[in-house]
Amino acid sequence: MSLHVVIGFGPAGAATARLLADQGHEVRVVTRSGRSPEPGIEHIALDTTDSTRLTEVVRGAAAVYSCAAPPYHRWASDWPPLASSLCAAAEAGGAVLVMLGNLYGYGPVDGPLTERLPLAATGTKGRVRAALWEQARSLHEQGRIRAVELRASDFFGPGVTDGGHLAARVMPRLLRGRPVSVLGDPNAAHSWSYLPDVARALAELAGAEQAWGRAWHVPTEPARSAREMVDQLAAEAGTGPVAVRGLPSAVLGLAALFSPLLRELKEVRYQFEAPFVIDASAYQAAFAVRATPLDAQVTATVAWWRARLAAPRRTTG
């Protein structure tokens, strides 16, 4: 088996690294702070904007997976040097650059999102995401690197915590049968990308030469509203019907005064106020990974959250 390097160890990076290790690959994970080793995974502490050192870590790798992201409110300043370092390391070492992207680059659109849509976002974060892919695509077309991007909708599933809209703000309350609040219109159809499917698709694209040079959408189950998702999660948990309400704009605006994250969410609020549906038919026509059935997603997610909430809390000092 070959060496694979995963940049970042958030939900997506961790899921991808562990999947690759389970497949028998040698796996290195690069984060700023590092971590203790775990079976099949070597953790390395490194500032990934240091392209010289990153190139040393990536040398000999079959693929490098871009699964890290700067803090939401620092995308404009922090993403460009990180992306440039990743491209430089991929070029120097010959590794396939597998980028985990999202749907921000399209901006607001009517109808399902396909990879054929132009990257026409006008907001800061959307323009940043579009520019990252355009940089890699341009280098790919020049023959300097081999690059591919997988675009996902909002993450859902085991391992998704603070970054998921159906995660820390929803699941602990749902498991106690208490009302939950969600961003935007709780009745608007929305696509939720299951985290294990994201990892499986990243690994598949890394080894599929016919995939390189373009972007793909991760296989995702049919869109369901936040209310439908909460109903199914509550049914699985046995906590009965749970009230679901949207966060009023006034409340969001007030909270944004104190939270950089909520301030940044204003730019992408459109994704939750109207149907936001991903079309992954191109991926499904070309590759093997399919979306996990929703019933299995819900069962695994409820079990993971129950275990997480039941685990003893770590103390420091």
- 94-113 pLDDT, tens digit per residue, is 999 999 999 999 999 999 99
Strand residue runs (E) in 227-283? 244-246
Q: What letter represents residue 125's amino acid?
A: K
Least Cα distance to 18 among 153, 198, 221, 151 occurs for: 198
| Residue 214: pLDDT over 50 | yes
Look at residue 93 and tell me if it is in a domain: yes
**Confidence category of residue 265, pLDDT binned at 50, 70, 90:** confident
The domain in which residue 91 lies consists of 3-158+192-222+277-292
To the nearest 10°, report the CA torsion of 85, 86, 90, 96.
-170
Look at residue 233 and tell me if it is in a domain: no
- Write the CATH number for 115: 3.40.50.720
77-82: average pLDDT? 96
Look at residue 231 and tell me if it is in a domain: no
Share of the chain above pLDDT 90, in %: 84
**Confidence category of residue 267, pLDDT binned at 50, 70, 90:** confident
d(CA 232, CA 100): 28
Look at residue 251 and tell me if it is in a domain: no
128-138: average pLDDT? 97
Look at residue 29 and tell me if it is in a domain: yes
70-74, 199-203, 251-255 — most confident range: 199-203
**Run of H or E residues at 58:** helix 51-58
Least Cα distance to 194 among 45, 59, 39, 299 occurs for: 299
71-91: average pLDDT? 95
pLDDT at site 256: 59
Ordered alpha helix ranges (H), the chain: 11-22, 51-58, 75-93, 124-141, 171-175, 195-206, 226-237, 249-256, 260-265, 270-273, 281-286, 294-310
pLDDT at site 251: 66
| Residue 254: pLDDT over 80 | no
pLDDT at site 126: 95
148-167: average pLDDT? 91
Look at residue 43 and tell me if it is in a domain: yes
| Residue 316: pLDDT over 50 | no
| Residue 286: pLDDT over 90 | yes
Q: How many domains does the chain have?
A: 1
Look at residue 180 and tell me if it is in a domain: no
Look at residue 83 and tell me if it is in a domain: yes
Query: How many angstroms from the chain centroid is the CA of residue 19?
Result: 15
